[in-house]
Structure 1
Amino acid sequence: MIGLEDKKEIWLGLPQDTPEQQVWADNYYDAELVPMAQERFIGHYATEKKTSYYGMFLLLGSSWEQVAFNVKLLDPQNVHVLCGRDHDIQLSLLCNNLGLDEGSFCVTTIQEGDATALYRVIRKQHDIWDSMGRSAIDITGGSPLMRTAAAMAAAYLDIDVYRLESHYMPKYHHYEPGTERMQRLPSVQSILL
């Protein structure tokens, strides 16, 4: 069986000079590298105690694969994706990768920079989920403004906050598979209150 490092070398060697070649390389990355990197990521954190979440918010930006890792690891019962109008392709790829059914998956489109709308959506969904269990949010995706607003809402509502760190490869316009690391921000309320 070909491992992640070998498949990464294949991907790095693919020609990406034309739009057609770029699409082929991107499809290889999505279909071959991301699932293997997710398996490695889950294996890396397998021995750590994980909180069980009833719901998890995701901020979706231009990189769908980055927000999929923590969802795969934490396996919440419900997922609510917050994204802009121009993220249809990323949303489709995310749904396909996570294998979510319509009953446990919800999407809200929020205009870029509309922190007020983001607060309202998070508050309303959190109020519904809170009676069933804990919530979390992954602030890996989205714009800097929306990540900041989401983190502020999470601090106010005592929602656990996660972020994925990985090495970005500018030449290839992707993150390097296998370099992903989960970060859980400490609860503001547990420290400051």
Structure 2
Amino acid sequence: MISLADKKEIWRGMPQDTPEQQLWADNYFDTEVLPMAQEHFQGHYAAEKRDYYGLFLLMGPLWELSTFSVALFEPQNVHVFCRKEQALQVKLLQKNLGLDDGSLCCTYIQGEDVASLYRVMKKQHDIWDSVGRSAIDITGGSAVFASAAAMAATYLDLEVYRVDSQYLPEFHHHEPGTERLCHIPSVHSVIGEE
């Protein structure tokens, strides 16, 4: 069996000078390297796994990192927030994770419309909360949306996560195997309610 390190070396050695070569390298990354990195991540963070009915996901143009928390927590429902121009990335995320249309919902946010984010999160949370707990992954969000989502999470009593990794600008991807799960503790758990 080929290891993650071996697959990374194969991927890094693939020529990426033309659009066609870039497509071949990206496909190899998506189908061979990323699933193995997700397995490694799941094994490493198995003790952090929680049972969430729903997971909110802020997704940016680099959809790959958004898959890690979904793969770890395996929620029954995922609600993605992103921009309209990232519809293809949502489909790639859905395909990578094997999510059916019934378990994935997507809300496209225009500009910096934080009010829409708040309203949709509240409405979806109210539906999910009757069945089970929810969390949010702010990994792919802009600075504005990550901050707004974290504030909404505090109000809704959601757990907040972020997946960090080392970025490889020459390959236009993150370094597989460097993913780190960051659990941002709730304000109330640290300073309490006064």
Smaller-chain TM-score range? over 0.9
Q: Write the letter of the residue equivalent to 2:114.
A: A
The answer as to whether partners of 1:65 and 1:94 remain within 8 angstroms in 2 is yes
The answer as to whether partners of 1:62 and 1:142 remain within 8 angstroms in 2 is no
Structure 2 CA distance for aligned equivalents of residues 92 and 28 of structure 1:
17
Shift of 1:131: 1.3
1:77 corresponds in structure 2 to 76
**1:66-99 C-alpha deviation (Å, 9 max, x unpaired):** 0100110011111111111000211111000111
SS at match of 2:131: coil
Q: Does residue 42 in structure 1 map to residue 42 in structure 2?
A: yes
SS at match of 1:81: strand
Q: Does residue 119 in structure 1 map to residue 150 in structure 2?
A: no
The answer as to whether partners of 1:77 and 1:104 remain within 8 angstroms in 2 is yes
Structure 2 CA distance for aligned equivalents of residues 49 and 167 of structure 1:
21
Q: Does residue 23 in structure 1 map to residue 28 in structure 2?
A: no
**1:140-174 C-alpha deviation (Å, 9 max, x unpaired):** 01222111111111111111000001111111111
Identity %: 62
Structure 2 unaligned residues grouped into runs of 5+: none
Shift of 1:51: 2.1
List structure 1 runs of 4+ shifted beyond 2 angstroms: none
- C-alpha RMSD over aligned residues: 1.0
TM-score, reference length from structure 1: 0.96
The answer as to whether partners of 1:68 and 1:94 remain within 8 angstroms in 2 is yes
1:160 corresponds in structure 2 to 159
Q: Write the letter of the residue equivalent to 1:53.
A: Y
Shift of 1:49: 4.8
Q: Write the letter of the residue equivalent to 2:162.
A: R
Structure 1 unaligned residues grouped into runs of 5+: none
Structure 2 CA distance for aligned equivalents of residues 84 and 28 of structure 1:
26
TM-score, reference length from structure 2: 0.96
**1:10-43 C-alpha deviation (Å, 9 max, x unpaired):** 1111111111111111111111110000010111
Shift of 1:184: 0.6
